Structure 1
Amino acid sequence: MDQDGALPVQVPSAVRAALLAPLVDHHCRGVRRDELDRARFETLITAAGTPAPPGTTHFDTPLGTAIRRWCAPVLGLDPHAPPAVYLARRAELGPAEANGRLLRAAGVVAFLVDGGPDGGRDGELLTAAEMGRLGGAAADEVVRLEPIEEDLAKEGPTAVGYPRALAERLADRASRAVALKSVAACRHGLDLDPARPGRGTVIAAAGRRLARPGEPLTDPVLLRHLLWTAVDVARERGLPLQVHTGYADPHADLTRSDPALLTGFLRALRPTGVPAILLHCHPFHRQAAYLAGVLPHVYVDVGLGPARAATGSAAILGELLELAPYHKLMFSSGCHGAAETSHLGALCFRRGLARVLAARLGEGEWSTADAARVAHMLGSGNARRVYRL
C-alpha cells in the first residue's frame, strides 16, 4: 500500500498498524480492462453514469479531487495533477499497468467480486481472478441473483417447472461462490411483502414472466421468490446473503432503497441462520446500523460512501459507529469500473476511521487496545468470520 499521507492524524503505533493492515474488500465489482478516454472515464467516477453538463467536469467532485490528490502519485505524478495530465499518464501506462498499480495500492488481501448485471460475461470488466492477479490478492466470486433468473427465463422453462429450475440453477452457481447478492432495491424497491410467496402464486407470476422473457426481472412476487430461494441455497451452503441498499444505481428510486424497508424480511430471515449483509446503505446508514444492533444476523457496510465523500468519510463512519456493534461492520470499496475507486475506497476508509478512532482516544473513551481491535474487526476480521475466509 502507498503509505504517503495514508493517515491524517497521529495515533498510537498499534492503532496505526491495525489501520494499515491488509483489508478484505467484501464487495466490489470488476474494473474496466480497456483504455479509457476522458469522456468514458468521467462517466465512471460519477454515480449518475452520465457526462457532466456542458462547461463542467466530474473531476470537480469530492471523488474527482481525491483522484487527483491520491491516485496521481500512484501513477508517478505529483499530487493534484490536472485532469488532462492525469489521464494522459494513465493512457501512457496502459490499462493493465494503471489498474495493477491502483489495485495494489489499495492494500487489499482478498477481493470478493460481484459479476454485475450480466454475471461478468460482457468481457469489459476484469473477472474476479484477474482482479486478484493484478491486485496481488486472493479473489472469490459473489453471485448476483437477478442475472441467473433472467438467463433461466430466456431458456423457456414451463411455469410449473420454473421454481425447481431456478433452485437448481442457484445451487449450481452457489457451489463456486462465497456469497449471494440481490439488487431487488434497483429492480423494484425494498418495500416487498416479506413473506415467502406460495407455490401457486409463483407459478402464476412465472407464467406472466415467461411470456416476456427478455425483460429485466421486476415482478415483486418473483423477486420475493428469488430472495427466498436464495435463502434456502445460502442456508444449505453456509453462505451469507448480500442485499443492495441506499444509493448507487441512478435509475433506482432512492426512497425505496432504505434498508429499514427490509425489517420484516430480516426478521423472517432470522430463524434460518443466514447472515444478511446490507451493502452501501448511505445515506441510510443510521437505519442500517440500528438494524445491525437489534438483529443478530445483520451486518453493515457503507461501501462506496467513503470514497464518494472523500474528506467527509469520517462523518459517515462516525455515525455508523454510533449505533452498530463493532463486530457487525465491514469494509468494502464498492469499486466499479475505474480502479481508482478501489484505491480510494480503501484509502478513504482508513483515513476516515483514523479520525474517528483518534477522537475517541483523545476523549479517553477508548483504550489503544480497543481502537486497534476495532480497526482490525472492520478492516478484515469480521469479513473473514462471516465469509469463512
Structure 2
Amino acid sequence: MALFEVPAMDAADERVLGELEVFRGTLRHHVAEPRRWLGQLRRSMIAGAVRGSNTIEGHTVGQADAEAIVAGEEMLTEHDARTRAAVAGYSDALTYVLQAARFEVFGYDPMLLSALHFMMLRGELDRSPGRYRLGPIWVSGAPDNPPVYTGPPAEDVPSLMVELCGWLQDGDLDAPGYVRAAMAHLNLVSIHPWRDGNGRMARCLHTLVLARQLVLAPEFASIEEWLGSSPHNTAMYYAALGAAQGGRFQPERDAHDWVRFCLRAHHLQAQVVQRRLDMAAEVWRVLAERVAMAGLGERTIAAVYAAARPDGVRRTTYMRDEGLTRDQAIRDLQALRAAGLIEEAGHGRTQRYLAAGPAAQAERAARVAITSQPLRDPYGDA
C-alpha cells in the first residue's frame, strides 16, 4: 500500500472518541428539533468553515462577508478578485459536500475530487483547476524558503489518486468516521495532486468523509473553522501535518499523532458548537421577551436575533429567511427601530441593522453567561 495507514487507537483516543459520540448524540438531538434560529446558525457555521479554510491559504474575509457569499449575496467589503473567487469557489464546493451527505447514488472517484477542485479554483484558470500537476511540487511556507515538504513524482499521482479513492470507497470501513476523515485529509494533502489548492481540497475531503458517514450534519462536524480561527490553531495544524509527513512523501510513517491532533480539534470544535446552540436558544428566549414587551409581532424576533449577531443583518437577508415581501420587511425593521431594539449602520450596499438598547444588553448578558469558562482540552485533562 502506498498510502498512510490507519494507526491503532490507544486508551486516550478511545476515550476522546467516546466523548465525541456523546457530543454527536446531543448535537443531533438539538439540530433535529424545529427551532426558528437554526437556519441562521447553520449559515453561520458554513460560513465559518469557508472562512477558516481560506484564511489558512491567505484569503482572509470577515464572517459577514463569508455569510454573504454563502447566502448568495455580495460581500459588504471590497476584496481583490482572487480572494473573492477563492471564497466563492470554496463555498460552491462545500455546498456540494453538504448536499452529497445524502446522495442515493455516490462513489469516491478521482473525477469527483478533480471536479471539487475545479469548483474551488474555477476563478483561476491559470492554476489548471481539476488537472493533475505535470511536474514536481514542494511547499516552502514562504517565498525563498527551502521546502518544508516535497510531494511524490508527478507520474505517480494518477495511480495514488486511484488508490486513495479505492480506500475511501472500501478501506478500513470499521474505523471511526473521525479517524477515516483524518486519514483522507493526510493522504490527499501528502499526494499533493494539483498545482494549487491542495490544502483546501484535503480539508474539504475531510468534511466530505464525515458527511457521507452521517457523523453529524456536515456544517456542525467540520473542523475547518477551528483550524483557521486563529494563527495559533493554524500553526499547530501545520506543525502536526509537518510532523506526520517528515518533509517528503513517506506513507510508511506513523500517523497516530496526526489523528490525535484531528480528534482534539473535533472535540474542541464540538464544544464550540454546543456553546453556540446553547447561546442561540438563550438569546432567542430573552429577545422574544423583549419583543413581547414592546408589543411587536412574533416574527420580528428573527430580525432582532439576526441583528444581535456581531455584523448585524441586511434587510434582504431577513426577507429571504422569513419569506417576506420587501414592504413587510421594511415595516418590521421600522417597528423594531421605533422600539429601540435595533439601529441602522452603513448606507446603501453596506446598510445593515444592529441590536440596540435592551436587545443588545440582553444578548451580551446571555453570551457572557455561556462563554465565561474556557474550553476543555480532551487530552490535556486526561
User: If the TM-score is normalised by the length of the shorter chain, which range does it land in?
Assistant: under 0.3
Alignment TM-score, normalising by the size of structure 2? 0.26
Larger fraction in strand: 1
**Rg (Cα) greater in structure:** 2
Q: Which structure would you say has the larger RCO, counting Cα contacts within 8 Å and 6 or more residues apart?
A: 1
